[in-house]
Structure 1
């Protein structure tokens, strides 16, 4: 995204991405065939990918650096709220008025977001350079490579394990559908509070923020693996998993921006790319593990990957001088 729009005001780019979001929902609402619906989802993917690659860089330019973690936690709160509310609200609207209406309402919400952006975001001329050479130069920075390794381990471990939480809850603690829904709701609520906890911690110690969140994911996965047969323990483990994963993006985005303040958009793009690759790898590897050895092996991989991420972040990650209050 930074490469394609390198000469444009970042405010205009954000507006364009939001317009694309609105159009994607309108195309989906009026889709007459599956290919058209797929095109709409591709448009949505471009919009969201561009937003995530730019969010940290824009936050850095809108607030003082010491408030960067707090700004990111506020931005990422939207994800947590959507995680908790969007699916049930969309399903409810779809059941009553049909799925096309759900997409039209999403388009209206996107249009309202665009109006807020137009009213509040100041002019943000492009800063730094952008290009494939710039991406390669950013990737050569040792701290960026460590941060991307942590992103890869955390995201692949999370999606390898959490993808199979629902079937695990059905089989091991033998929870009914209503209880599972409540447990997953607790996961979403945990993620909401995790965003703010991650920002609070990153303002005080970035090393602690990027180390403890993956460690808590590893602990939660191990808890399910070892004593997940208890419904109460399983519910607590899933909620703590959500809390930890909610804290992860805040610390990692802040870490990447501090490691490349002159190329924050390129660093953000690298994080999004690494995250997407990790999602695919985690899903594939988790599926292979489950097919061959069962759900427990996916949780074991999750625990191992996130533990390695925590160790890498602690021993190789941001030094005290990188922390905001040092």
Structure 2
């Protein structure tokens, strides 16, 4: 089969298309004939040498795919060869075939294309766990999503609206704000043109928000804490502007704030399966009904993974970047 490989960590130019042996599914696993693979920021961080795969995981990039089941390992029940699936993978997605535990498979609803399906798993596993399990988001609360026009951001906006929250989103241009609004954001704030802290205080009559999903870190930390209401929760999922900062903990103590965060890849199969089950029950009916969507920004052939990574690093995209394998 063909797959994307790199010998040494570095910039996008280290990626190249090579021939490699087709993997085989072990017990409890499925071999997926990949049609599309999602490109995500963790792929870029891994390629640059700063996010090594967990022990036992494939060193090949790619954390989500959509395609059809080509083979099943021992002990697998409830799935058949030929089933159309989307999967959160332990790596290996940038390839013609990829192995994933069946506990991380999701059926592709009738009428949903495989390209759209490929853009769901990584975003929705991440957003569900961070907003629902860690952030404890509830109906009637206010949610602030930073980076609202990216894949994670658009999933978070949609989940907020599914739950019944009022959703604020920040993004870096008027065009990106319009995309956030099209996916359900009640309020969009162009952080290049406005002070998002001042704007949210104005909108909320200085009462703030309940949950913040942040991938910026650095200079946003103190600003985020200043916006949280009593018992508010700040959920960190990335640090695009750094993970080290000095700040005053007094707000945390006085308003009983929670600061939390997570990474998805090192979590156990049992934990990921529990998230998959929650998505099947709570989100997948909305996907099937067309209430949850994937916004595809651009699709590249597998052979152009270098250009896909350059686009991801530029942050010009709005929605998902995909690799077309078939």
Structure showing the higher strand proportion among its residues: 2
Q: TM-score, normalised by structure 1?
A: 0.24
Q: Which has the higher contact order (CA 8 A, sep 6+)?
A: 1
